């Protein structure tokens, strides 16, 4: 399988860690979503977005939730990172939903500063994004384990992967939002997760 996108993308990284925890070998193609890479990406995903997972049968999967759905659907029973059904699955999906929303807003905030020409910037919009990110991080902090352990129990599961990817993306791109540390449980969760190669090998450097 080939995974397109860089580790700085919290969505691409979620897929990369998911594959690593499931023991799936993946070839990485760390293309950016701008410049010449953007044209190359559009030849694979007409929207020019990442992540893209190209399967061994040639199929091309886009959108993180849909990619994860396939990874779960085709995993060996012992390798699944989500409960199959019931309240436990609902809980996991909501954890991922919070982390996913925070990641979306955090990516939008980066684009406001890196992509939008200065004269078109709208400070109130950036403040709104920051408020949404902080709100989401607070909700995640309330769900995170107080000390040891993982959201899913004894080993990291899908919720942990999504939490760590969202948190680490903000740490790399807008660390001032985490100062304090404002979210000590999330900071500790990230720290512990990144000691595992499945997480740590893709931890993004400060952008
Ligand atoms: N909903 C998408 C979001 C993916 C996304 O926003 N990826 C960013 C990179 S982190 C991207 O492709 N940005 C370029 C664009 O959206 O035009 C998913 O979950 O896969």
| Residue 33, ligand 1, Cβ within 6 A | yes
CATH number for the domain running over 2-79 = 3.40.30.10
Residue 191 pLDDT greater than 90, yes or no? yes
Q: Output the CA 30–ligand 1 centroid distance in Å.
A: 14
Per the rule left: phi > 0, alpha: psi between -120 and 50, beta: everything else, 149 is: left
Confidence category of residue 207, pLDDT binned at 50, 70, 90 = confident
Please state the domain extents for the chain.
2-79, 86-200
> The domain 86-200: what is its CATH number?
1.20.1050.10
Sheet arrangement for strand 60-62: 27-29, 2-4, 52-54, 60-62
Which class for 204: exposed (0-12), middle (13-18), buried (19 or more C-beta within 10 A)? middle
Q: What is the pLDDT of residues 17-68, one digit of tens each?
A: 999 999 999 999 999 999 999 999 999 999 999 999 999 999 999 999 999 9
pLDDT at 77 over 90: no
173 within ligand 1 shell (Cβ under 6 A): no
- On the question of pLDDT at 181 being above 90, the answer is no
Atom of ligand 1 nearest to the CA of 8: 10
Domains 2-79 and 86-200 share a fold: no
Residues sharing a CB contact under 8 Å with residue 163, sequence separation 6 or more, in sequence order: 95, 99, 140, 143, 144, 151, 186, 189, 190
pLDDT tens profile 105-126: 999 999 999 999 999 999 999 9
149 CA from centroid of ligand 1 (Å): 30
Ligand 1 near 8 CB (within 6 A)? no
Average pLDDT over the chain reads 97
Q: What are phi and psi of 114, to 5 degrees?
A: -95, -30
Tell me what pLDDT residue 67 has: 98
Question: Does residue 44 have its Cβ closer than 6 Å to ligand 1?
Answer: no
How high is the pLDDT of residue 33?
96
- Per-residue confidence band for 182, with pLDDT thresholds at 50, 70 and 90: very high
Q: Which atom of ligand 1 lies nearest, measured to the CA of 12?
A: 10
């Amino acid at each position: 399988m080939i995974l397109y996108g860089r580790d700085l993308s919290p969505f691409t990284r979620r897929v990369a860690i998911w594959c690593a925890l499931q023991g799936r070998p993946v070839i990485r193609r760390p293309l950016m979503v701008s410049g010449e890479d953007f044209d190359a990406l559009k030849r694979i995903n007409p929207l020019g977005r990442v992540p893209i997972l190209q399967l061994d049968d040639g199929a091309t999967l886009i959108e993180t939730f849909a990619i994860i759905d396939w990874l779960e659907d085709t995993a060996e029973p012992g390798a699944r990172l989500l409960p199959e059904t019931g309240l436990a699955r609902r809980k996991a999906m909501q954890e991922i939903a919070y982390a996913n929303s925070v990641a979306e807003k955090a990516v939008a905030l980066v684009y406001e500063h890196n992509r939008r020409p200065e004269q078109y910037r709208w400070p109130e919009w950036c403040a709104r994004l920051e408020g949404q990110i902080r709100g989401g991080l607070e909700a995640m902090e309330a769900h995170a384990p107080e000390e040891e352990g993982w959201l899913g129990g004894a080993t990291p599961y899908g919720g942990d992967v999504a939490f760590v990817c969202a948190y680490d993306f903000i740490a790399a791109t807008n660390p001032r939002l985490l100062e304090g540390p404002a979210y000590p449980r999330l900071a500790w969760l990230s720290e512990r997760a990144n000691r595992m190669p499945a997480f740590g090998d893709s931890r993004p450097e400060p952008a």
